[in-house]
Amino acid sequence: MAETAKLLGTKGSPYSHRAEVALRLKEANFEFLHEDLAHKSDMLLRYNPIHKKIPVLVHGEKSIVESLIVVEYVDEAFDGYAILPSDPYERAMARFWARYIDEKVIPAFWMSCWTDGEMQKGFIAQAKETLTTLEGQLKGKKFFGGDSIGFVDLAAGMVAFWFGILQEVAGINLLNEEDYPVLCRWADDYCSIEPVKESLLDRKLLVAHFASKKEKIFATKAPVYD
Amino acid sequence: MASEKGIKLLDFWVSPFGQRARIALAEKGVEYEHKEENLLAEKSELLLKSNPVHKKIPVLIHDGKPVCESLIIVQYIDEVWPDKAPLLPSDPYQRAQARFWADFVDKKVFECGGRLWKLKGEEQEAAKKEMIEILQILEAQLGDKKYFGGDTFGFVDVAFVPLTSWFYSCETCANFSVEAVAPKIVLWVQRCMERESVAKTLSDPKKVYEYVRFLKKRFRIE
C-alpha cells in the first residue's frame, strides 16, 4: 500500500516506541501523530474504541492496535527488513520472549520502582529473577534477534532505555553493569541503532517527565507516558 | 530430548488452553502423543524441563523442541502445517484482526470468568457486569458471521471456543444467562461443536462445573 501510514503515539511510551521503530526499520512512509493522553483525540477513540490506548497504526482506513500486534502487522505488510525470523520455531521463540517481557519483566520492574517496604522487596526479588532470565536469552548474541535487532529487541526497548530512567527517578539501582553486564551492553548497542535513536526522546526530558509525575505514579501505580 | 522425533502435547484434561492446541492439531490432521499432566500433584520432569520459565501446560514438543503458551502454539501449528485448514488468514490486516481478538479473549474472558466463580457478593456482581460487557463486545464482533473469521473456522474460534465450556459454571455460580446476553455466541458454539475437532476436544460443561466445585472446596480449605 503506497498510502502514508499514520502512527498515533507518544514519544514517552515504550509501546509506541515499538511501533515506531518497526516502521523505521522498514523505511516506511509514515506520519507520527502525537497524542495528548489526558485529552484523547477523536481519531484515537474512533480507531481504538475498545482499549482507547496508543499506539494505533492507521493504514488506509484500517487501524491496528496493541503494540506487538502492530509490529507483526508492519513486518508482514511492508517489504524490506525482516523483524521476525522466517523459521516457525524461531518465530514461536520470539513471540514467547516478547510475551515474557510484557507479562513478567515489565510489571516486576515497574512495581519495584513504585512500591516500598516489604512489597517492594518482593517485587525487586521478582524483577531480579526476570532480568536474569531475560539476560540468559542473549547467550553470546549481539541482539536477541541475532546479528541484527528483531522482534524481541523491540519488545525489550523499555528495558534498554526506560528502565534506567525509571530507576533513577525511583531511587533504586536494579539494572546495572555489575549485576547484568550482558543486558547493559545489549541496551547500549540497541539504543545506538539508527532507527532506534531516531525514535527516542532526549533522556533528560524523559527523566524530567517521570520525575514530575512521580507522586501520581506512586499513588496509582498507573503508567503516565505522555 | 533433542533427538526424539514426533509430536508430544503436555496437557491437563480440563484446561481450555490445552484444548486450543488439541483443536488446532485435529484440524490439521496431525498425529501426536497426548501426555496428561496431573496438575493437582507434582509436575513431571518433562514438563519442568520443557517449560522451565512458567512450568505450565500446554507445551507442544516437536522433534524434541518445546513450544509454550497456547496461542503461540496454535500459530506455530498453523505455520508448520500451512496447507490444511489454515487458521490465520493470509492478508496481513486480517491476521492483525485475528490476533487482536484472540488477545482480547485471552486477556478478558478467562480472568473475568475466574472471578465469577471464585468471588461472592459485590465483587462477584462487578465481575458479572464486566463479563456481560465482554460477551456483548464479542457478540457484536461475531455479528452474523458463521465464525469469527468469516466463513472458515479460524484462530479466534480456536482461541475462544474451549472457554465456552466454562459458561455453565459461570452462569450457575453467578446466576446469569449467557444466552440472554449473547444469543449469537451460543449459536456459534453449537456450530463449532459440529466440527469433529471441537466436539472431541471440549470438556462437558457439567464435568467442568464438578471440577470448579472441587476447586472452590480446595480454596476454602486453604
| pLDDT tens readout for residues A76-119 | 999 999 999 999 999 999 999 999 999 999 999 999 999 999 99
The residue ranking higher by pLDDT, A199 or A38, is A199
Is any Cβ of chain A less than 8 angstroms from the Cβ of B140? no
Task: Determine the pLDDT at residue B147.
Answer: 98
> pTM value?
0.95
Smallest CA–CA distance, residue A99 to chain B, in Å, is 9
Facing residues of B60 across strands? B9, B67
Distance CA B75, CA B59 (A): 13
Which of A56, A68, A83, A95 should be substituted to probe chain B, the one whose Cβ sees the most B Cβ atoms within 10 Å? A95
Distance CA A77, CA B90 (A): 11
Averaged confidence pLDDT in chain A: 95
Q: Give the pLDDT band (50/70/90) at residue A37.
A: confident
Q: Rg of chain A's alpha carbons, rounded to an integer?
A: 17
Task: Determine the pLDDT at residue B221.
Answer: 45
Distance CA B152, CA B131 (A): 26
| pLDDT tens readout for residues B99-109 | 999 999 999 99
| pLDDT tens readout for residues B36-52 | 999 888 899 999 999 99
Q: Give the pLDDT band (50/70/90) at residue A2.
A: low
ipTM of the shown complex = 0.94
Q: Is A33 helix (H, G, I), strand (E, B) or coil?
A: strand
Going from the N-terminus, what domains does chain B have, and what CATH number goes with each? 7-80 (3.40.30.10), 92-218 (1.20.1050.10)
**A3 pLDDT more than 80:** no
Mean pLDDT of A177-205: 97
Distance CA A190, CA A168 (A): 20
Considering only CA atoms, which of A103, A172, A93 is closest in space to residue A136?
A93
Q: Give the pLDDT band (50/70/90) at residue B222.
A: very low
B96 vs A contacts (CB less than 8 Å): 64, 69-70, 72-73
Contact A91, A85 (CB under 8 A): yes
Distant-in-sequence, close-in-space partners of B71: CB < 8 Å, separation ≥ 6:
B20, B102, B103, B106, B159
